[in-house]
A and B are shown apart, each in its own frame.
Chain A
Amino acid sequence: MDSLPYYLQTVLNGVLAGCIYALFAMGLTLIYGVLNFVNFAHGELIMWGAYFLFLAISEPFALPLYAAIPVALVITALLGAAMDFAVFRPLRQANRLTLLIAAIGLSFFLRNAAQLFWGAEVQTYGFEIRQGYQWFGLYLTPQQLAIIVISVICIIGVYLLFFKSRMGKSMRALADNLDLARISGIHTERTILSAWVISSLLAGVGGILLALDTNLNPEMGVTNLIKAFAATLIGGVGNIWGALAGGIIIGLAENIAVLFISPGYKDAVAFVIMVLILLVRPYVVIGERRD
């Protein structure tokens, strides 16, 4: 009679993976919505976010976790803002291809910089490993619980910000039509800056959660970013709820698939879904139909 917990645990694993993907995808989609390009350096924001926490909790700072996390997040947001200021702002009028290439370049730069500071070796925050709580035959560790709860909080936060605040309204206006937004008196640069800050915060939170649950290495961002990218495509680029749905769909699909097909094809599942959705519902991606 191990089969019900067995499948439920798989679903739980899928939701966990999906939450991480969704956190990454929301940040990615936010920048896409406002600036209309895919920020391939988002994975490095994730990774640096995790490493900033590593820096803050280790010598010589040795901050306790509750103090270190806000510090790490603030620095990550600063890094995001700095990225925009140094690279993307001068390219504001450039075409999308230029922005894309610049983002890829930035991604390599930031990844190699992390390697220079911390080495390519895998690091760990060094918290003691604990067995998960057991509920009805399901295992869940405090870190995993945190992933789910914090993801939900982030999603609600982004929702409120996006749909209930003035800043969110400006962002949506900017996403709709940059020129029109500017003519209407929206402070575009300030709005773009806040989009970067929020996107970086989401990346930082996701990176820290991922690293708390697993380990840190300079490639941790880039390997998960590809899935996040697929999630944004599935959910519709520039759509916050879509990013969430896409993340969860991919997380669930690849984990459930592992039970039935050879896990060697785990990655393929995510991308087959992506391709199918692109074929069947292309308007989701192009964004022609808004319903």
Chain B
Amino acid sequence: MKKLVVIASVVSLLVWFSVAPVRAAEDIKIGAAFALSGSIAVYGEGFKKCVDLAVEEINAKGGIKGKKIEIVYEDNKSNPKDCVTAVRKLITVDKVPVIFGPAGSSNFMAAAPVAQESKVVMLSAQGTAEKLTQAGKYIFRIIPSNSKQGQRLAKMAFDMGYRKLPVMYINNDWGLDLKDGFVTSFKKMGGVVTDIIPFDEKKTDYRTELLRANRGNPKAIVNLTYINEGAVQFKQAYEMGVKTQWLCGSAARAPKMVELAGKAAEGIMGTYPSVVQDTKAYQAFKAAYKKKYGDDKIPIFGDYNYDLVYLTARAIEKGGYTAEGIRKAMPAASKGYKGVTGDKTFDKDRGMQKADIGIWIVKNGKIEDYKK
């Protein structure tokens, strides 16, 4: 009897082992270490919606060579430590060859070396920090980097006639990087930066920072901020009677920020890696989004995440479902590929070759492209 049990368990184990890999091969699993809780979960939820939309579309058209795509979501809890844990779990437990990395440059850069060492491809749809892809050749991004945006912001401030202004920035890799890009370019043009004020994430009270920035009533203040922080700051500045032209970066350009800050957000301007929205592809994306979720407010960077799925699917189709294959196929898959966010061709640093930086403005409670 005992023998029988042993044999039975050995056989069942063998069967399980031989069946398991086959079952795994049925679907194409892609990891996504997204911020589903924590301070920037406000971004993560929007990304997920757009990724799900793209996956649904691809699968409805027969998937990749007949195989369905399945996204394995892992919550990165919005902090670098748990980003590493999430990416490590996707690699070791779920054994995915390709991962959509965490948002927030600091978070992404904490996890990038893990993917690189494990030889797993990791991509960013919204990381703009200069050094983002430095970890190695398995790391890609499909959004233009900060230096280009910093230059554009400086030019915009200068063109609007501002020569002296203070700079506030969120104290993380993204903010620091964009601040450096802006300050260097602005000084080169002959502008003067009167004060540099870093602030921490997740605070509820920025009054004194704002007071300091507004000292001497500058005509404009550069504020490189996020959605929640920006909403609190603009509201508090409004209550304090601060009258200035706010100049922001890409991360504040979100309907949610305007919703939270209300009329305090009116007139705020900023730069962002622009996406030409009157293309057929973009309108189709917008319509599909509206059909699935009922509103046409595309979440911030949602369009990039949507492109990320399609681009990855192209690379898998070309290079096969292995990390090495995807990595090698990536440049060719991207070459000349036009996603909803434009040309996605990679440069030699695995970032974007082309960068359109646009200017946004809040007008009547809506974010619009600024036209002179």
Residues of A within 8 A of B (CB): 2, 6, 9-10, 13-14, 16-17, 20, 112, 115, 119-122, 124, 128-132, 134, 139, 141, 144, 210, 213-215, 217-220, 223-224, 255-256, 258-259, 262-264, 266-267
Query: B37 contacts A122, CB within 8 Å?
Result: no
Residues of B within 8 A of A267 (CB): 200
Q: Nearest chain B CB to A240's CB is how many angstroms away?
A: 24
Tell which of B211, B216, B232 touches A9, judged by Cβ atoms closer than 8 Å: B211
From B92-100, B233-241, B309-317, the one touching the partner chain is B233-241
Residues of A within 8 A of B131 (CB): none
Is B148 part of the contact surface with A, judged by Cβ < 8 Å? no
With A13-B205, A115-B37 as known contacts, state yes or no: A262 contacts B262, CB within 8 Å. no
Query: A263 contacts B45, CB within 8 Å?
Result: no
Q: Which of B201-238 contact A (CB under 8 A)?
A: 202-205, 207-209, 211-212, 215-217, 227-228, 231-232, 235-236, 238
Residue of B nearest to A115 (CB): B37
Residues of B within 8 A of A (CB): 36-39, 41-42, 44-45, 171, 196-200, 202-205, 207-209, 211-212, 215-217, 227-228, 231-232, 235-236, 238-241, 256, 259-264
Can you identify 21 A-B contacts, CB atoms within 8 angstroms? A9-B207, A13-B211, A16-B207, A20-B205, A120-B42, A129-B261, A129-B264, A214-B204, A214-B235, A215-B260, A223-B202, A223-B203, A223-B204, A256-B208, A258-B212, A262-B197, A263-B200, A263-B208, A264-B171, A264-B200, A266-B203
Residues of B within 8 A of A220 (CB): 204
CA of A246 to CA of B202, assembled, Å: 22
Q: Nearest chain B CB to A5's CB is how many angstroms away?
A: 10
Query: A10 contacts B205, CB within 8 Å?
Result: no
CA of A181 to CA of B346, assembled, Å: 74
CA of A273 to CA of B215, assembled, Å: 27
CA of A72 to CA of B202, assembled, Å: 25
Q: Nearest chain A CB to B125's CB is how many angstroms away?
A: 19
Residues of B within 8 A of A144 (CB): 239
Q: Nearest chain A CB to B195's CB is how many angstroms away?
A: 10
With A132-B239, A139-B240 as known contacts, state yes or no: A219 contacts B45, CB within 8 Å. no
CA of A247 to CA of B197, assembled, Å: 25
Q: Nearest chain A CB to B3's CB is how many angstroms away?
A: 46
Query: B38 contacts A10, CB within 8 Å?
Result: no
Residues of B within 8 A of A255 (CB): 207-208
With A121-B45, A139-B241, A214-B205 as known contacts, state yes or no: A129 contacts B256, CB within 8 Å. no
With A129-B262, A258-B209 as known contacts, state yes or no: A215 contacts B198, CB within 8 Å. no
Residues of B within 8 A of A112 (CB): 37
Residues of A within 8 A of B199 (CB): 263-264, 266
With A129-B235, A132-B241, A266-B200 as known contacts, state yes or no: A120 contacts B211, CB within 8 Å. no
Q: Nearest chain B CB to A254's CB is how many angstroms away?
A: 8
Q: Nearest chain A CB to B139's CB is how many angstroms away?
A: 27
Q: Nearest chain B CB to A127's CB is how many angstroms away?
A: 9
* For the complex of A and B, 7 pairs with smallest distance between CB atoms: A120-B41, A264-B198, A13-B207, A258-B208, A255-B208, A214-B204, A139-B240
Residue of A nearest to B260 (CB): A124
Q: Nearest chain A CB to B222's CB is how many angstroms away?
A: 15
Residues of B within 8 A of A218 (CB): 37
With A119-B45, A120-B36, A139-B239 as known contacts, state yes or no: A263 contacts B216, CB within 8 Å. no
With A16-B205, A258-B208, A267-B200 as known contacts, state yes or no: A6 contacts B241, CB within 8 Å. no
Q: Nearest chain B CB to A82's CB is how many angstroms away?
A: 24
Query: B216 contacts A122, CB within 8 Å?
Result: no
Query: B204 contacts A122, CB within 8 Å?
Result: no
Residues of B within 8 A of A263 (CB): 197-200, 208-209, 212
Q: Nearest chain B CB to A245's CB is how many angstroms away?
A: 19
Residue of A nearest to B44 (CB): A120
Residue of B nearest to A13 (CB): B207
Q: Nearest chain A CB to B230's CB is how many angstroms away?
A: 11
CA of A152 to CA of B238, assembled, Å: 26
CA of A112 to CA of B202, assembled, Å: 17
CA of A131 to CA of B238, assembled, Å: 6
Residues of A within 8 A of B207 (CB): 9, 13, 16, 255
Tell which of B208, B238, B260 touches A259, judged by Cβ atoms closer than 8 Å: B208
Query: B212 contacts A259, CB within 8 Å?
Result: yes
Tell which of A129, A256, A259 touches B263, judged by Cβ atoms closer than 8 Å: A129
Residues of B within 8 A of A128 (CB): 262-263
Q: Which among A2, A14, A121, A134 has the highest number of chain B CB atoms within 10 Å?
A: A121
Query: B41 contacts A224, CB within 8 Å?
Result: no
Residues of B within 8 A of A217 (CB): 39, 228
Query: A215 contacts B239, CB within 8 Å?
Result: no
CA of A256 to CA of B263, assembled, Å: 29
Query: A120 contacts B197, CB within 8 Å?
Result: no
CA of A264 to CA of B212, assembled, Å: 13
Query: A131 contacts B241, CB within 8 Å?
Result: yes
Residues of B within 8 A of A20 (CB): 205
Query: B208 contacts A219, CB within 8 Å?
Result: no
Q: Which among A139, A141, A215, A264 has the highest number of chain B CB atoms within 10 Å?
A: A264
Residues of B within 8 A of A6 (CB): 211, 215
With A120-B38, A128-B262, A129-B238 as known contacts, state yes or no: A17 contacts B209, CB within 8 Å. no
With A120-B42, A129-B262, A217-B228 as known contacts, state yes or no: A224 contacts B36, CB within 8 Å. no
Query: A122 contacts B208, CB within 8 Å?
Result: no
Residues of B within 8 A of A224 (CB): 204
CA of A223 to CA of B228, assembled, Å: 14
Q: Nearest chain A CB to B232's CB is how many angstroms away?
A: 5
CA of A80 to CA of B227, assembled, Å: 32
Q: Nearest chain B CB to A164's CB is how many angstroms away?
A: 33
Residues of B within 8 A of A262 (CB): 196-198
